[in-house]
């Protein structure tokens, strides 16, 4: 008796390294890069792989293909993965872990957005340090039309970016907005012209990668501490990161390069 092969899992999360750039790719183009439960669980592992690679200076999150960033969670799974309160809590824990992985990553993270950036996809983008979107991109949080609860920490990300009133309007109405409005309210940081997103991202990654990694790490920790929840901040750790810069080889290299009138070559040590 022969058995039929098991169906291949739908969607994947890939990592790619191109010099100092680490790509975090959400790959499910047949469903506009919607994220399955298995993919949610893979995201923290993928972020950890890139964060642990010394060659990587910047992590860029993108959707596979040239048409869509991430259209949210794969709703077709909800009948099984979110069928009741118990399974919904398990699913939400996977969501929260993915957001936490990006939010807590010590290296700079950038969301590279084109096309649809909806629901959980927008949650992942908001957990990144910066969001660069192509002209014509569309943003929205349709949770109120699905009856699902949005992870509170992801709600906090929205409030930090756009303020409480605009966050409420986005959640309450579940309406979609364009890139121009997203930029106006602070949801994204830049708009790239059509077909210019790759150039914009490449320029930003190059600018960040040329600078001292330890200084960037310390600055990110301090900015997140100041803008985050004071009760959850390890201020001693934040101060130690800043102080460690002065004992680093990069600090010595920065001084030498300045005196020698050349571009510094930072090693992250």
Q: Is the pLDDT of residue 18 over 80?
A: yes
pLDDT at res. 233:
82
Q: What is the CA radius of gyration of the chain?
A: 20
Read off the pLDDT of residues 166-195 as tens digits, 9 standing for 90 and up.
999 999 999 999 999 999 999 999 999 989
**Contact predicate 79/135, CB 8 Å:** no
What's the CATH fold of domain 12-208?
Answer: 2-enoyl-CoA Hydratase; Chain A, domain 1 (3.90.226)
| pTM given for the model | 0.92
pLDDT at res. 144:
92
Model confidence band, residue 8 (pLDDT cutoffs 50, 70, 90): very low
pLDDT at res. 1:
33
Backbone angles phi, psi at 191, to 5 degrees: -115, 130
For residue 168, with 0-12 CB atoms within 10 Å meaning exposed, 13-18 middle and 19 or more buried, which class applies?
middle
Q: Is the pLDDT of residue 82 over 90?
A: no
Distance CA 190, CA 128 (A): 14
The alpha-helical segments, DSSP class H, found in 64-151 are 78-81, 85-103, 120-127, 143-146
Read off the pLDDT of residues 88-147 as tens digits, 9 standing for 90 and up.
788 888 999 999 999 999 999 999 999 999 999 999 999 999 999 999 999 999 999 988
Element (H, E) at 17: strand 12-18
Read off the pLDDT of residues 37-55 as tens digits, 9 standing for 90 and up.
999 999 999 999 999 999 9
Model confidence band, residue 66 (pLDDT cutoffs 50, 70, 90): confident
For residue 268, with 0-12 CB atoms within 10 Å meaning exposed, 13-18 middle and 19 or more buried, which class applies?
middle
Q: Is the pLDDT of residue 24 over 50?
A: yes
**Contact predicate 24/50, CB 8 Å:** yes
Q: Where are the domains of the chain?
A: 12-208, 212-260
C-alpha dihedral (225, 234, 126, 202), degrees to nearest 10? 80
């Amino acid at each position: 008796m022969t058995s039929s092969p098991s169906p291949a899992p739908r969607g994947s999360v890939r990592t790619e390294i191109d010099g100092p750039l680490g790509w975090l790719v959400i790959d499910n183009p047949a469903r506009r890069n919607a994220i399955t439960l298995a993919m949610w669980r893979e995201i923290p592992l993928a972020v950890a792989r890139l964060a642990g690679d010394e060659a990587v200076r910047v992590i860029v999150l993108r959707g596979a293909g040239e048409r869509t960033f991430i259209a949210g969670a794969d709703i077709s799974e909800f009948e099984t993965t979110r069928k009741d309160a118990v399974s919904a809590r398990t699913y939400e824990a996977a969501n929260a872990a993915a957001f936490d992985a990006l939010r807590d990553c010590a290296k700079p993270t950038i969301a590279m957005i084109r096309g649809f950036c909806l629901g959980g996809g927008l949650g992942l983008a908001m957990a990144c340090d910066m969001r660069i979107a192509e002209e014509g991109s569309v943003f929205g949080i349709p949770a109120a039309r699905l009856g699902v609860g949005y992870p509170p920490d992801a709600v906090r990300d929205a409030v930090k970016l756009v303020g409480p009133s605009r966050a409420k309007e986005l959640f309450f109405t579940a309406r979609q907005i364009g890139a121009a409005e997203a930029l106006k309210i602070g949801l994204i940081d830049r708009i790239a012209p059509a077909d210019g997103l790759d150039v914009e991202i490449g320029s930003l990654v190059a600018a960040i990668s040329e600078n001292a990694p330890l200084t960037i790490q310390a600055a990110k920790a301090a900015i997140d501490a100041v803008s985050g929840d004071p009760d959850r901040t390890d201020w001693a750790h934040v101060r130690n990161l800043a102080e460690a810069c002065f004992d680093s080889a990069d600090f010595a290299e920065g001084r030498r390069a300045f005196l020698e009138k050349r571009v510094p070559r930072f090693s992250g040590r």
